[in-house]
Structure 1
């Protein structure tokens, strides 16, 4: 049985935001807290908490959307420093967490204790604090790192036993096991393996092996080599990171096809580039469980390339250019299939991505779009519809402060073309917004094209927007107002030069 060392930089998504130590910050993804600062934790915010619940517990919470590319780019200098001074080969599990075989390095540095000390010191030289764990498996080592602990060889199963089954990363399985009275990893590991596989499926069988202190997928003896790897040569050498990223996405699809035809999956993926002019090649290994999607591969390739460029590794953005990009799958194991069993899942993100890619092949790249939220004052400005798979390539708008930005809640529907509207006071006169942002007469009646007329029951605002005032031909001065009507509806109105429009609908 091998030994694995894992290194964890706590709260890496928060570290990347460059927030002060006392700042109350939460990094969120898909409406859920991914990581939070110490001050936020002290206020009651926790990981996996819904954003609105977190904001309810901490009124001053600063919410930041996760930027995976920035996390990868910021973590790469730490990885390179460790490779140069402590470990020759690392596997990045995710930004902020990495793993490596520990037997060879431990012998070199004089033992596992000395190895962990070296790793902590090396990360401290990069300006960060790290926790290090050693155990018999990658999963156990990552948990041990959270305790900054070395688990004795052969004691991994006992170390994992007290943990709740939720740490295995299968929420639906954990929920079902808890209902059955199986609440700890040790209790789950005690169940017969064949019964678990028969009743709960292949993913649960992998989790059962993990719970028992062994690697989920036994590795095959055969190396991946060039048989399953793919490459793309660039002639002339390519200097645009965006184009190399796009190629990486296509190569990832080829890797998955080759492995699928051979009924194999890989636990690691190496990304390597060869530079023009015969320069030394560069590579990075990413570890993952299951299938690393094409989009995820592209995100990681772009992140490391940009980090290398920022660090001057290329001698310019990409110096003479990238002559070749190579993807090599490593740590192959037999594909055990995907069984829905009792708690069948809906479509996974990877399946959605594959379906979208097929539609794009048939109907064109622009045929399938995804929504990305960014900076802006108005609701239409904050939402961008971009081709599916290109989100990682789009340049995000600055996060703020955006004076005049509308407060939450956000509208349920934003009209592609604002609807003509008339807002009048009790005397039937058009409601105006003065240069000092005063509303001389309160709104009383609202008429919107296609929706008729209704009495106004409440209003808020106005919120002014003055953009590009230094360019007379492009300057824009508007004001927005939220209005509720007697029929129970709420609208977002915008006025410019005494002309009212309905920009969005709240419900």
Structure 2
């Protein structure tokens, strides 16, 4: 493969960028979809923690990372919504289109943040300040959302400038960054939490203090990730300036028959396309940092968007951006939506870096990395035959119910916890958990020594020690040991029969070994028993 020479780029400074930032975008999009008034506090939660909130919620004491219970305690009127990347991307498409009507080369970094090279547009509109004024007017008229704009050399400095709503003079990026806290390195599109924590413990509180370290020492102590962060702190470009333009054959084109008209279908197809796309780049020792997503509809409409990434894209990252983009295209307002489904999709690596920049299983040889990759490809092939639900993976969540604690997620979908599994759940079973949880509990009966039914009292105690268990009307089996009961609720004032769970060890059938089961009881008089699980 012949790669065009890039001589002369080593001394080229970072591109002057304009970044448009919509503050608290997940909260803004959630409020817009659910028609929540602008003066009401809104919080977006993932894994039972705040990931975004609006200014009204912050005034009420809500902060990112706060538990849901604490957030609602500080702000009882808080409107609670689950995180939804697709929703955020769908609504942000209106903002991206508004920017694109004035400036070419729009690159979506993530929903809520868009970047464009500013030099050409600034000359056309008569300066950077004039361009920003036009953009603000256009977005207010087209999308009706608040935003802040910053201009600086390089994406990192421009993003921080947007948060402050300021312009940074050319060549002054390092001076602008120096007094800012080192925590600014840990952005949503590049997770550097561990590095930032280490820098703070070493006494490097600001970006300027980190930038003052010799580059050789940074590389030796912090590795590749630290070296990249050091470049950002010094006001340099996000990656070394020597970049390679990919050969045209690395673009991936896929034809669809029937046409793609649903986002869930597009998300499913994107998984296989992303694996093939990244695999082709890996074969040339490359990784993608700017991804072009281009589509053609059955009516001949051409759609396109470029996504810029702070880190080289993984197959999951490519699939996510394809899904987000289809959310924006197919679920837009009727006047802006394509008139027909997508018949052709092209993924184009607009910019690549050397493969060594990507610290992934894809680059490991031997051991479990190769095995994991082969298994992942096999799962995708099975899904192609059976559909997305053909391969499911379990996620352990919090809760009291053994069946409810395990949630099955289609392979390739985010495996995020919705509730913390380590929280204090009244009535939660102690370890070990049953190896098999029955999808449909089986009716049973528990008797004492005199053959009378055993129930649960109002004080969450058994009416008598259990001695025999009959399952589904079958013969009674001797109970040789038991543990419990564990009440399902700590609220003794709750109306209705008392409910609890019990672990029973049954004598083996014939010469077989003993068996252990998990049973559930409701009531004292005429108690209802069911078998919920079986232990190995």
Same fold (TM over 0.5): yes
1:265 aligned onto 2:294: no
- Structure 1 match to 2:94: 77
Please give the residue correspondences for 1:43-58 in structure 2 after superposition, counting only pairs within 5 Å.
Answer: 43-51=60-68, 54-55=71-72, 57-58=74-75
1:387 aligned onto 2:410: yes
C-alpha deviation, 1:50, in angstroms:
4.6
- Structure 1 match to 2:116: 100
1:357 aligned onto 2:370: no
- Structure 2 match to 1:17: 30
- Structure 2 match to 1:36: 53
1:233 aligned onto 2:255: yes
Please give the residue correspondences for 1:259-298 in structure 2 after superposition, counting only pairs within 5 Å.
Answer: 259-277=281-299, 279-298=300-319
SS at match of 2:115: strand
1:452 aligned onto 2:457: no
How many residues matched? Answer: 454
Unpaired stretches in structure 2, ≥5 consecutive residues: 1-12, 187-191, 361-368, 385-389, 416-423, 470-478, 504-517
- From the superposition, tell whether residues 259 and 387 of structure 1 become closer, same or farther in structure 2 (CA, over 3 Å): same
The answer to whether the 8 A contact 2:149-2:163 is kept is yes
C-alpha deviation, 1:10, in angstroms:
0.8
The answer to whether the 8 A contact 1:163-1:185 is kept is yes
Unpaired stretches in structure 1, ≥5 consecutive residues: 341-349, 393-406, 433-438, 465-478
The answer to whether the 8 A contact 1:235-1:323 is kept is yes
- Of 153-162 and 289-298, the range deviating more from structure 2: 289-298
Q: Name which one, 1 or 2, has greater alpha-carbon Rg.
A: 2
Cα distance in 2, alignment partners of residues 66 and 270 from structure 1: 25
- Structure 1 match to 2:137: 121
C-alpha deviation, 1:162, in angstroms:
1.4
C-alpha deviation, 1:386, in angstroms:
2.9
TM-score (norm 1): 0.75
Cα distance in 2, alignment partners of residues 351 and 91 from structure 1: 33
- Of 202-211 and 495-504, the range deviating more from structure 2: 495-504
The answer to whether the 8 A contact 1:356-1:368 is kept is no
1:416 aligned onto 2:438: yes
The answer to whether the 8 A contact 1:234-1:322 is kept is yes
- Structure 2 match to 1:5: 18
C-alpha deviation, 1:304, in angstroms:
2.5
C-alpha deviation, 1:484, in angstroms:
8.6
C-alpha deviation, 1:255, in angstroms:
2.3
C-alpha deviation, 1:193, in angstroms:
1.0
TM-score (norm 2): 0.71
The answer to whether the 8 A contact 2:262-2:330 is kept is no
The answer to whether the 8 A contact 2:238-2:310 is kept is no
- Structure 1 match to 2:419: none
Cα distance in 2, alignment partners of residues 459 and 484 from structure 1: 13
1:203 aligned onto 2:222: no
- Of 157-166 and 237-246, the range deviating more from structure 2: 237-246
- From the superposition, tell whether residues 115 and 500 of structure 1 become closer, same or farther in structure 2 (CA, over 3 Å): farther
C-alpha deviation, 1:265, in angstroms:
2.5
